[in-house]
């Protein structure tokens, strides 16, 4: 699939952290730098040296135009690509809160559009992305999938109605995990550890457990059971974390719901 991009070209609108992660993955996957046009008003030194066409306009009919600017900047950025609308160019968006209907209004109803929601672990090649498309964009889903697989896993959604849930679980999810590290470290300090040791323990534990979950064929519930001796220290902690009223499950459900609702508000 990436051969199409190499042959016909790709436009990357915005090259911040996520755009850089994606571009790094594409180049590593064999997309020639000469096949990529990047529009970025504040290019990094890495981008300047990457060998791509930087702020040189766009080719007449690229295979893909990937929209990687912040949602609040999308309205100002889209006019640069309006000439590619209603054509064969596949538009792929990674912007949260910007609906397919918004893109259709700006680019034309016949424009093939794929909306995606990646997450920041893409920066280390371990992201996961949910994708969905409008009717003209259905045939472009395999190409969009190939592009996003350059930085991790891809999950194809039933439709755009699921994108806010994806945003709430995996798009925002890394922040929840980082806060878990903070909370575990703070709890360790409360039990007498130095801040440095507590943070080192919490960080390594979360990263190591994540890697174990990634590699193990067992479900998360079984991995939890494997660590929990009846009547032991882990069981004592889990009695609080798994409490049906005050534990982590109801708290996480409220948090994810709040994120999903905010996504829906931003999309209106």
Q: What is the pLDDT along the chain (268 residues), one digit of tens a residue?
A: 789 999 999 999 999 999 999 999 999 999 999 999 999 999 999 999 999 999 999 999 999 999 999 878 888 888 889 999 999 999 999 988 889 999 999 999 999 999 999 999 999 999 999 999 999 999 999 999 999 999 999 999 999 999 999 999 999 999 999 999 999 999 999 999 999 999 999 999 999 999 999 999 999 999 999 999 999 999 999 999 999 999 999 999 999 999 999 988 887 7
Kindly provide the b/e burial profile for residues 117-143, where b requires at least 16 CB atoms within 10 angstroms of the residue's own CB: bbbbbbbeeebbbbbbbbebbeebbeb
Separation of alpha carbons 147 and 151, rounded Å: 8
Q: In degrees rounded to 5, what are phi and psi of residue 130?
A: -95, 140
- Name the one residue in this structure whose structure tokens are 């590290």: 181
Do 225 and 255 belong together in one domain?
yes
C-alpha 145/C-alpha 130 separation (Å) is 9
Looking at the whole model, is its pTM more than 0.85?
yes
Same domain, 150 and 248: no
Residue 82 in contact with residue 109, Cβ under 8 Å? no
Specify the pLDDT at position 264.
87
Same domain, 154 and 40: yes
- In whole angstroms, how far apart are CA 224 and each of 209, 211, 228? 10, 14, 6
133 is in which domain, residue-wise?
2-158
Residue 164 falls inside a structural domain: no
Q: Quick one: 31 and 146 in the same domain?
A: yes
pLDDT at 73: 85
- The pLDDT, as a whole number, for residue 240 is 97
182 and 138 in a common domain:
no
pLDDT at 2: 87
pLDDT confidence of residue 76: 83
Q: Are residues 133 and 236 in the same domain?
A: no
Domain boundary, last residue among 125, 158, 191? 158
Among 158, 190, 219, give the residue marking a domain's end.
158
Longest dimension (CA), the chain: 68
16 in Cβ contact with 41 (< 8 Å): no
* Number of domains observed in the structure of the chain: 2
Tens-place pLDDT, residues 86-114: 999 999 999 888 899 999 999 999 999 99
Specify the pLDDT at position 21. 93
Report residue 85 as tokens: 């609308």
Least Cα distance to 130 among 164, 175, 91, 176 occurs for 164
Spatial distance between the Cα atoms of 121 and 151, rounded to a whole number of angstroms: 8
Give me the CATH number covering residue 260.
1.10.3730.10
The three-class DSSP label of residue 243 is coil
Q: Is 245 helix (H, G, I), strand (E, B) or coil?
A: coil
Check residue 251 and give its pLDDT. Answer: 97
Which residues pair with residue 133 across a beta bridge?
114
Domain harbouring 80, CATH code: 3.40.50.720
Q: How many Å is the Cα radius of gyration of the chain?
A: 21
């Amino acid at each position: 699939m990436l051969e199409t991009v190499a042959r016909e070209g790709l436009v990357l609108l915005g090259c911040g952290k996520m755009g850089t992660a994606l571009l790094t993955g594409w180049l590593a996957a064999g997309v020639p730098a000469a096949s990529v046009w990047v529009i970025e008003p504040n290019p990094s030194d890495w981008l300047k040296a990457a060998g791509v066409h930087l702020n040189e306009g766009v080719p007449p009919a690229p295979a893909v135009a990937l929209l990687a600017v912040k949602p609040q900047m999308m309205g100002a950025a889209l006019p640069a690509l309006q000439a590619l609308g209603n054509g064969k160019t596949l538009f792929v968006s990674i912007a949260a809160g910007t609906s397919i209907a918004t893109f259709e209004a700006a680019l034309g109803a016949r424009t093939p559009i794929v909306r995606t929601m990646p997450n920041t672990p893409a920066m280390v090649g371990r992201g996961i992305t949910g994708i969905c498309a409008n009717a003209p964009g259905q045939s472009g889903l395999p190409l969009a999938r190939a592009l996003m697989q350059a930085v991790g896993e891809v999950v194809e959604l039933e439709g755009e109605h699921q994108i806010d849930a994806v945003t709430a679980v995996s798009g925002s999810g890394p922040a929840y995990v980082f806060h878990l590290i903070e909370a575990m470290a703070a709890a360790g300090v409360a039990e007498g550890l130095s801040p440095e040791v507590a943070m080192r323990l919490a960080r390594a534990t979360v990263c190591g457990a994540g890697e174990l979950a990634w590699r193990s064929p067992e479900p998360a519930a079984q991995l939890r059971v494997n660590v929990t001796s009846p009547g032991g220290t882990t069981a004592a902690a889990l009695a609080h974390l798994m409490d049906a009223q005050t534990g982590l499950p109801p708290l996480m459900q409220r948090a994810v719901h709040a994120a999903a609702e905010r996504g829906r508000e931003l999309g209106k």
